[in-house]
Amino acid sequence: MNIDGKAWRTIWLEQGGRSVGVIDQTQLPHRFSTRSLTTLDQAAEAIATMVVRGAPLIGVTGAYGLMLALQADPCDASLAAAFEQLNATRPTAINLRWALERVRDRVAPLPPAERAAAAAAEAAVIADEDVLMCEAIGAHGLELFRSIAAARPSERQHEPLNVLTHCNAGWLATVDWGTALAPIYKAHRTGLPIHVWVDETRPRNQGASLTAFELGREGVPHTVIVDNAGGHLMQHGLVDAVIVGTDRTTRTGDVCNKIGTYLKALAAFDNGVPFYVALPASTIDWTLADGVAEIPIEARSPDEVTLITGLSKPNAADSSADVLRCVQLTPAGTVGFNPAFDVTPARLVTGLITERGVAEASEAGLRSLYATESAGTDGAP
């Protein structure tokens, strides 16, 4: 997607394939900068510290991390150790394990000397597939948006479609296009008037920083709200649809996504607002049936709750500006707790928008689109 008129992806190869370039998402929205990852450790650190984040992008970064490890040492032990190191960086998103297994299974049978090149090729395929899947999600989601817009009362037909999203499931969370934001970009580019309510998404504010940055650079009308506001907006008819991404979806349609998603799903259900989840197949965990009970939820540092970083504004005590500063929100010594994801039960999900079309959020719904992929999993007929 576009930044100042130039098309970008979130991850690319540099230096003849000896280095992986990424956008440093910890600096957005205030600074646009890139980083070069040249070692396994750097790739693992970039995932763990959220220089790159978003389930699909984590997967692709993991794949390229294996490539970097194999460039340094292509032996079996190196491959196994790199797999474990990368897989341990973030526990919730399933795409990471999926991509790592795909690269490992592709290169393990090869002679060591061929492994790095094969890993590079496989990572590139995963990245390109991700772009195609996201664009397909966008196309299917656009059809849905057109239906929802057309079904509004005639007196509201002239208004833009009001869509609420939580966290960032845009192109910065993937390689390009995004998942939840792909239909929004498609709508905007094809002339369907659309306005996005952007949940700021505490504690890391991916909505206020990344989603607002993306939408602003693409020219999509949007308004940032606190996470608390969505229910009120829905009660007053100001939201036509909710669309979010997911870090892991069970085969039964339970959706694990950024903390707070469940609260928006409850409000949508209570107000008859459709609640959609956009995801590529790589996000489905066919081994799980009960999301609340079975999906591991990452607990991140309480510092993400008690401290916050932003662009310093001049005040009476300080005339400087344009500096990123960290400020403390709580009294000294306050204890915080910081679960990073929650699980929205399938019963609250109107539909799953995948690259193959829209499925009911249920085992039958997902199997109808993914007969081959789901074969042999628990509960298969």
Known catalytic residues?
247
Residue number, 115 or 222, with CB nearest to its own copies: 222
Residue number, 130 or 199, with CB nearest to its own copies: 199
**What angle is formed at CA 28 by the lines to CA 24 and CA 33, rounded to 5 degrees?**
40
The answer to the question of residue 308 lying near its own copies (CB under 8 A) is yes
Residue number, 338 or 368, with CB nearest to its own copies: 338
Per CB under 8 A, which of residues 136..175 are in contact with its own copies? none
Locate 19 and state its tokens: 């280095």
> Any residues with CB less than 8 A from the CB of 263 and at least 6 apart, and which?
227, 230, 231
The answer to the question of residue 297 lying near its own copies (CB under 8 A) is yes
The answer to the question of residue 337 lying near its own copies (CB under 8 A) is yes
Query: x/- binding map, residues 200-219, to its own copies, per CB under 8 A?
Result: xxxx-x--xx--xx--x---
Query: Is the bond preceding residue 29 a cis peptide, omega within 30 degrees?
Result: yes
Per CB under 8 A, which of residues 24..63 are in contact with its own copies? 29-30
How far, rounded to the nearest angstrom, does the alpha carbon of residue 225 sit from its chain's CA centroid? Answer: 19
Contact between residue 38 and residue 72 where contact means Cβ atoms under 8 Å apart: no
Residues facing 18 on adjacent strands: none
The answer to the question of residue 323 lying near its own copies (CB under 8 A) is yes
Region of 5-13, 17-25, 272-280, 337-345 interacting with its own copies (CB under 8 A) = 337-345
Q: How far is the CB of 379 from its own copies (least distance, A)?
A: 22
Residue number, 114 or 322, with CB nearest to its own copies: 322
Q: How far is the CB of 337 from its own copies (least distance, A)?
A: 5
Contact between residue 182 and residue 134 where contact means Cβ atoms under 8 Å apart: yes
**What angle is formed at CA 106 by the lines to CA 105 and CA 109, rounded to 5 degrees?**
80
Contact between residue 126 and residue 63 where contact means Cβ atoms under 8 Å apart: yes
Which of 5, 111, 331, 376 lies at the binding interface for its own copies (CB under 8 A)?
A: 331
Distance CA 159, CA 157 (A): 6
Q: How far is the CB of 340 from its own copies (least distance, A)?
A: 9
The answer to the question of residue 188 lying near its own copies (CB under 8 A) is no
Q: How far is the CB of 140 from its own copies (least distance, A)?
A: 28
CB contact burial 360-374 (16+ within 10 A = b; e otherwise)? bbbbebbbebbeeeb
User: What H or E segment, with its residue span, contains residue 232?
Assistant: helix 230-235
Neighbours of 350 (CB within 10 A): 20
The identity of residue 281, as a single letter, is A
The answer to the question of residue 225 lying near its own copies (CB under 8 A) is yes
Residue number, 159 or 270, with CB nearest to its own copies: 270
The answer to the question of residue 270 lying near its own copies (CB under 8 A) is yes
The answer to the question of residue 311 lying near its own copies (CB under 8 A) is yes
The answer to the question of residue 92 lying near its own copies (CB under 8 A) is no
Query: Which 8-state DSSP code applies to residue 351?
Result: E
The answer to the question of residue 307 lying near its own copies (CB under 8 A) is yes
How far, rounded to the nearest angstrom, does the alpha carbon of residue 78 sit from its chain's CA centroid? Answer: 29
Binding residues for its own copies, rule: CB under 8 A, are 29-30, 197, 200-203, 205, 208-209, 212-213, 216, 222-233, 235-236, 258-260, 262-264, 266-267, 270, 292, 297, 305-313, 315, 317-318, 323-331, 333-339, 341-343
